[in-house]
Structure 1
Amino acid sequence: MTTSRATASAADRGRRPFRWPALLTPDGRGIAYGGDYNPDQWPEGVWDDDIRLMHKAGVNTVALGIFSWARIQPAEDTWDFDWLDRVIGKLGAAGIAVDLASATASAPMWLYEKHPEVLPRDKYGHVVHPGSRQSWRPTSPVFRGYALELCRRLARRYGDNPTVTAWHMGNEYGWNNRYDYSDDALAAFRAWCEARYGTVDALNEAWGTAFWSQHVNSFDEVLLPCHMGGDAMVNPAQQLDFERFGNDMLLDFYKAERDAIAAICPGKPFTTNFMVSTDQCCMDYAKWAGEVDFVSNDHYFHEGESHLDELVCSDALVSALALGKPWYLMEHSTSAVQWKPVNARKRHGELVRDALAHVAMGADAINFFQWRQSASGAEAFHSAMVPHAGEDSKIFREVCELGAMLRALSDAGLQGSELERADTAILFSAESEWATRSKTLPSMKLNHWHDVRDWYRGLLDARERADVVPLAYDWSGYRTVVLPSVLVLSDEDTRRIAAFVRGGGRVVVGYATGLVDERFRTGLGGYPGADGGLLRDILGVRSEECNILGSSVVGEPDTIALSNAAVTRLWQNDVTSIATDTQVLATYAGRAAAEWELDGVPAVTRHPYGDGEAYYVGCDLDRTDITRLAPQLGFGVSSHDGDPRIIHTVRRGDGIRFDCYLNRANEPVPCTYDPSSSPVVAYRCESNGSGAATIGRNGVLIVSTVLSSSCGQSRRG
């Protein structure tokens, strides 16, 4: 049975086999529930109470040792595993599995003192001092030597320990050392460029070094894109390669840690926690996902009205990275964090609702940072499962309530089921997200990931739940694909789009899509220039200029209306010609359009191409206008139909189906479901048990249906 929403591309076929960590249950199965556990922050007298409370909450797994290097190796020639032996022994005796970290996220202070050469440098040449996390160069051979020795010692000590069921490599790679401008990084970048391009002539061509006299005669002349003074602009092709390099160097470091442990104990699965949210997705996780045995993610909520929608949008990408297999929520918060300018807490019900929303989007593990709220340090005011208020607290009572629900879902057989894919894929490209940050574009206000989020939410409002799929993956099985400001589009990917549409697919192309290729070179002959004009042929449009608006331009209109009552605020493409068979769905209209000489210019078009159709949205639109436009783009009530205030997902297992309903509104919403189903979780929800329910604010309903053999196959198989 295949229910995955995306499959890996040919370049991703070397992906590691899916392996899921076992629990210490009789059959090893069940939804994993727990969080980061830092017993080294507390006296040993607290540990037994921790385990008592874990049992009360239904915790069955913890991530251990993430920031414990200094406790494990207090001096260069001193190792102390006794405390770790004791806590792992206590956890195992209580039936709590351990996801053991490599502990390399933060090095001990003695290492930095002895080897200051492992410290990164910022783009100004300043040393990044120790005292926070990841204050080390991923390209430092000195640091790598110490880190891999730690990995090997952990593997020899705990590789055969039955309580340790998975390995957690590093922690949030790239959090503090994503960009390093040290001498080690320079040497590695030169080697990376040579491996990528082969010859210096190829590099000069790719980077367009004829501009501003940047020609290099050898790879030894390649420089890092350091600070160049004033408002100097970095060569965008060089900067994009530096982004790729930083991603690859950290991925290489992760693989070195993983392989050091795997050489000693290969039998247990490996993971590392990604950081996917729509304000935080710094790595190219489409590449990373092939190097883990199961995909893990850390997600922290966005305060305000986008809270649930943003969570589900982020999870849609994580589930695609997992190829529809179950994935592991490694971290989220019970309530407020401490690292934002304004740290909003969660309202009553949001702790449970958020966790169940992750389950509805494919997670088979629900974990928090952290188990017990720290009494000191930088994260003392970050919420936890056991808050400063202790056991007698609202948060801990909700933690226990959630644990009971996850047990009920486990007993019902949800663990191992896969998320059924949608009909529509919104394509995400890490390279396009990196490229939109360039200061050399027509506007510095582009944000590819935010455009993905706006399209996701706009389609939800139009009763069309979409998947979010990496551009690099195979999305050819979808009915519709949407490319919102996919700025970087290679010739190969443009041809994939052409083949998709010719074969009967529907594509929606956004205003800044295909503006440059993977070398950050613009196509000629008009916009969009991807693959020598192939994208223009698919769309049946040609534009000559980008019209950029901004409220800071005094005396000029800062919005332009469309003939369908939509409004654009940032970017309009001046379409000067269209194919004879292109249908204009909306034009720019009104006084502001006339002022910018755009009155009557096509803004939204449809063009038949082969057996399919291509829609062009030549300007930015907000979520509301995307929803209004959706019917004109061919979106209707999808298979996930019903009230747009309800998010409906389906997970399928062997002979069983789970329908999950999440209330997006701030008021109760009626909901109908298959009356032959059995409610498993009805949280803040009143159900008559016969197909009708009212889901309250922050409410969730999950029902199960036993399938006959003829109904058990995926509709998208």
Structure 2
Amino acid sequence: MGMGVQGIAFGGDYNPEQWPREVWAEDMRLMRGASVSMVSVGIFSWAQVEPRDGEYTFDWFDEVMDNLSRNGIAASLATMTASPPPWLTRKHPEILPVLADGTRMWPGGRQAYCPSSSEYRSYATRLVRLIAERYRDHPALSLWHIGNEYGCDTPACYCDVSAAAFRTWLRARYGDVEALNEAWSTKFWSQRYDDFAEVLPPRTVPAFNNPSQQLDFARFSSDEILGCLLAEKEIVRELTPNVPITTNFAGYSHALDLRRWAEELDVVSYDSYPEPFDPRAHVEAGLTYDMYRGARGGQPWLLMEQAPGAVNWRERNAAKEPGQMRLWSWQAVAQGADAIMYFQWRQSRGGAEKFHSAMVPHAGPDSDQHRDIVALGAELASLPEIAGTRPSNDVAIVLDWASWRALELDAHPSSDVRQADALLAHYSPLFEANIACDVVSPADDLSGYRLVVVPNLYLVSEENASRLTEYVRAGGHLLMSFFSGIVDEADRVHLGGYPAPFRELLGLRVDEFRPLDAGQVVDVELLGETGGATLWSERITTEGAEVLGRFADGSPALTRSEFGSGVAWYLGTRPGPSLLQALTAHVAARAGVEPVLAGLPRGVQAARRGDFLFLLNHNAHPSTVDLDSPLTDVLAGESVPTKRVTLRERGVAVLR
């Protein structure tokens, strides 16, 4: 299934209902001038096309679709269900979501609906069927955009309707209440259930909620929101079987199980908003790009939203530096994006996001921001053959959504241990060394990777533990960090000493967790280099592993275990960046991993897609790169190969 767009799609959210019709003609003219090839339309149009229950005014939207078609612009057509109109919540206030403490949320924002509400789903699917029937044969229709940023504002609902749906979900998962009692360890604190009817969502309670109950409710909430998407997907697939389907994910959190959701999509879309105040924002952005590319096994993904300049929703909203929007857009392409799009086309005059930058700002087209958009659109249009290409990487980072959720529950040794921090800590040294990687599930086939990094896998099934063990036995190299292999799928401790499923593989046992205080730094020596470590330490007893790093008291901090034909490393603390960089380089070299391009200046990123080599200068000063062999800078329109490339500050080169 293709999107009907040649090359890298370029555009943004188009909301013409915010503007009088005389502006629409100018929109089309400006879009053509900016090489816009696709726009998302209708995302928040429900109240405009159905102003009253059962009364529809599609004529204006017909005109929008026709305008796009006449101007050769593809429509990523939204199902319009992301925000119910006020008449619906007035008529059915019971669809409004409820927080864990019983507070009912009110209309006036967006996503004001309970995902389990049959009333919401009924009205939503009624609208979706009308839209799909009306536009099924429209020449502009190229992609279905179902919902919008699911779970961003309403990641869970705790109302009685949700409670009933949760009980139904639990019956399907466990079969009978005794199996649930066993999984949830309900003998603790006299929580034994005699009937599913007694089970509630993890609402506000005295003391701590049951962690297994919290974990299952998180699974349920992701599945229940997915049910909203699937109800709409069924309709559009029935009426337009050849039109691909996506939905856009917001940020990176554990609210939605990305891997499970990606199975239901034809292409994954992501909304990326790095923090311009953060000098290392591009590193975290790179991690998320690899994560979303990995959601469908390396398939290209769509950057569905970004900001041309500042956003509006942070406490302090930084503008982007000159060249930064272009640089970050090309970074997304370099890491697998087949679309570069924005929120939004024309900057709103009113509403909550009126200070969110847009492709056409308040100042209009005679502005640096719009001129930068026009220039980028032309660049992307000049290299259509990039679309569809993929990287081929030797390193994988393991991420599991259930483990992420379970890791960050309460009543743990340290609330400072967070999955996103662990991912970024282990991803950053790879990024800085220009070692490209994939983000994978522990259930994926790992056999093609030379090195697998496990920043944290607190929760692991016996099956996935065996998969990692067999990967090493067959010759793989594994680097695992602390507090991994601790609990099973129900958040029950694996008995037999920490980390029980990995003790044989790692050749050690952890006798005691010794988390560090906030701001505390301990001395550590790794591979002969000394430095500081934070966050965590532990008492490790080796059972065959070689000690290659120690805490100041002489106890093990880093071990290496030869297992089968492979090697497993274990790190019992969080070293400072320079130490972790040295460790990662050492492990990668011994695994036979090579960078995309060696000898690059600090701050210059290299990435490959197919036959293309991307060089991205994240520095605020020029940088010179020496190549192994002559290549042609096709982005600059060069025709003569060169072995030396000079990048201006925040500059980009695309070589072939």
Q: TM-score range by the shorter chain?
A: over 0.9
Return the offset for 1:675: 5.0
- The aligned counterpart of 2:334 is 360
- The aligned counterpart of 2:516 is 549
Task: Note if contact 2:524-2:532 (Cα within 8 Å) is conserved in structure 1.
Answer: yes
Task: Note if contact 1:516-1:529 (Cα within 8 Å) is conserved in structure 2.
Answer: no
The one of 515, 518, 534 aligned to 2:489 = 518
SS in 1 for 2:468: helix
For residue 572 of structure 1, what is the amino acid of its counterpart?
A: S
The within-5 A match list for 1:593-604 is: 599-604=553-558
Q: Structure 1 unaligned runs (5+)?
A: 1-18, 24-28, 590-598, 705-717
Query: What TM-score does the superposition give when structure 2 sets the normalisation length?
Result: 0.96
Task: Note if contact 2:523-2:530 (Cα within 8 Å) is conserved in structure 1.
Answer: no
2:604 maps to 1:646? yes
- The aligned counterpart of 1:610 is 564
Task: Note if contact 1:64-1:99 (Cα within 8 Å) is conserved in structure 2.
Answer: yes
The one of 134, 146, 153 aligned to 1:169 = 146
CA offsets 1:619-671 (integer angstroms, 9 cap, x no match): 1224332102224424376141321532221111xxxx111111233332211
- The aligned counterpart of 1:431 is 402
- The aligned counterpart of 1:301 is 274
2:558 maps to 1:587? no
Cα distance in 1 for partners of 2:636, 2:418 equals 38
The one of 392, 396, 415 aligned to 2:387 = 415
More displaced 10-residue stretch of structure 1: 467-476 or 218-227 = 467-476
The one of 225, 232, 243 aligned to 1:257 = 232
The one of 91, 94, 112 aligned to 1:114 = 91
CA offsets 1:394-441 (integer angstroms, 9 cap, x no match): 11010001011001111xx212222x2221111111222212221111
Which runs of 4 or more aligned residues in structure 1 lie more than 6 Å from their structure 2 counterparts after TM superposition? Answer: none
More displaced 10-residue stretch of structure 1: 208-217 or 434-443 = 434-443
Q: 1:688 to 1:603 in 2, by over 3 A?
A: farther
Cα distance in 2 for partners of 1:527, 1:569 equals 21
- The aligned counterpart of 1:536 is 503
- The aligned counterpart of 2:121 is 144
Q: 1:402 to 1:513 in 2, by over 3 A?
A: same
Cα distance in 2 for partners of 1:624, 1:281 equals 29
SS in 1 for 2:365: coil
Cα distance in 2 for partners of 1:578, 1:674 equals 43
Cα distance in 1 for partners of 2:433, 2:274 equals 23
Return the offset for 1:107: 0.7
- The aligned counterpart of 1:21 is 3
Task: Note if contact 2:632-2:640 (Cα within 8 Å) is conserved in structure 1.
Answer: no
- The aligned counterpart of 1:677 is 631
Cα distance in 2 for partners of 1:641, 1:366 equals 25
The one of 442, 450, 455 aligned to 1:484 = 455
Task: Note if contact 1:454-1:622 (Cα within 8 Å) is conserved in structure 2.
Answer: no
Cα distance in 2 for partners of 1:600, 1:559 equals 12
Cα distance in 2 for partners of 1:61, 1:465 equals 29
The one of 292, 296, 309 aligned to 2:265 = 292
Cα distance in 2 for partners of 1:237, 1:356 equals 42
The within-5 A match list for 1:274-423 is: 274-277=249-252, 280=253, 282-303=255-276, 304-410=278-384, 413-418=385-390, 420-423=391-394
Q: Give me the identity figure in percent.
A: 40
Cα distance in 2 for partners of 1:622, 1:317 equals 24
The one of 442, 465, 473 aligned to 1:502 = 473
Cα distance in 2 for partners of 1:281, 1:63 equals 26
Task: Note if contact 2:549-2:556 (Cα within 8 Å) is conserved in structure 1.
Answer: yes
Cα distance in 1 for partners of 2:433, 2:8 equals 32
Return the offset for 1:559: 3.0
Cα distance in 1 for partners of 2:205, 2:211 equals 14
Q: 1:103 to 1:33 in 2, by over 3 A?
A: same
Cα distance in 1 for partners of 2:523, 2:515 equals 11
Cα distance in 2 for partners of 1:115, 1:159 equals 30
- The aligned counterpart of 1:592 is none
2:439 maps to 1:468? yes
Return the offset for 1:20: 2.7
2:498 maps to 1:527? yes
For residue 268 of structure 2, what is the amino acid of its counterpart?
A: V
- The aligned counterpart of 2:218 is 243
SS in 2 for 1:571: coil
SS in 2 for 1:154: helix
Cα distance in 2 for partners of 1:646, 1:281 equals 31
Higher RCO, Cα 8 Å, sep 6+? 1
CA offsets 1:353-402 (integer angstroms, 9 cap, x no match): 11111111111111000000100000001111011111111110100010
- The aligned counterpart of 1:666 is 620
Cα distance in 2 for partners of 1:275, 1:473 equals 24
Task: Note if contact 1:584-1:606 (Cα within 8 Å) is conserved in structure 2.
Answer: yes
Query: What TM-score does the superposition give when structure 1 sets the normalisation length?
Result: 0.88
Cα distance in 2 for partners of 1:409, 1:691 equals 21
Q: Structure 2 unaligned runs (5+)?
A: none
Cα distance in 2 for partners of 1:294, 1:107 equals 25
More displaced 10-residue stretch of structure 1: 371-380 or 427-436 = 427-436
Q: 1:511 to 1:687 in 2, by over 3 A?
A: farther
Task: Note if contact 2:454-2:480 (Cα within 8 Å) is conserved in structure 1.
Answer: yes
Task: Note if contact 2:254-2:405 (Cα within 8 Å) is conserved in structure 1.
Answer: no
Cα distance in 1 for partners of 2:160, 2:583 equals 51
For residue 469 of structure 1, what is the amino acid of its counterpart?
A: V
Cα distance in 2 for partners of 1:187, 1:361 equals 42
CA offsets 1:119-167 (integer angstroms, 9 cap, x no match): 0100010111111111101110111100000000001100011111111
Return the offset for 1:312: 1.2
Return the offset for 1:467: 2.0
The one of 93, 98, 117 aligned to 2:75 = 98
CA offsets 1:29-70 (integer angstroms, 9 cap, x no match): 221110000000111111001111111111011000000000
Return the offset for 1:674: 6.0
Cα distance in 1 for partners of 2:585, 2:482 equals 19
Task: Note if contact 1:573-1:618 (Cα within 8 Å) is conserved in structure 2.
Answer: yes
Task: Note if contact 1:330-1:366 (Cα within 8 Å) is conserved in structure 2.
Answer: yes
Return the offset for 1:687: 11
Return the offset for 1:194: 0.8
SS in 1 for 2:143: strand
CA offsets 1:190-247 (integer angstroms, 9 cap, x no match): 0111101112111111111111011101211111100014xx2111111111110000
For residue 633 of structure 2, what is the amino acid of its counterpart?
A: P
Return the offset for 1:322: 2.8
Backbone CA RMSD of aligned residues = 1.7
More displaced 10-residue stretch of structure 1: 428-437 or 176-185 = 428-437
Task: Note if contact 2:433-2:595 (Cα within 8 Å) is conserved in structure 1.
Answer: no
Q: 1:100 to 1:311 in 2, by over 3 A?
A: same
Cα distance in 1 for partners of 2:589, 2:508 equals 22
Q: 1:631 to 1:100 in 2, by over 3 A?
A: closer
Aligned length: 649
2:137 maps to 1:160? yes
- The aligned counterpart of 1:578 is 542
Cα distance in 2 for partners of 1:551, 1:430 equals 26
Return the offset for 1:689: 4.3
Task: Note if contact 1:169-1:254 (Cα within 8 Å) is conserved in structure 2.
Answer: yes
The within-5 A match list for 1:8-157 is: 19-23=1-5, 29-157=6-134
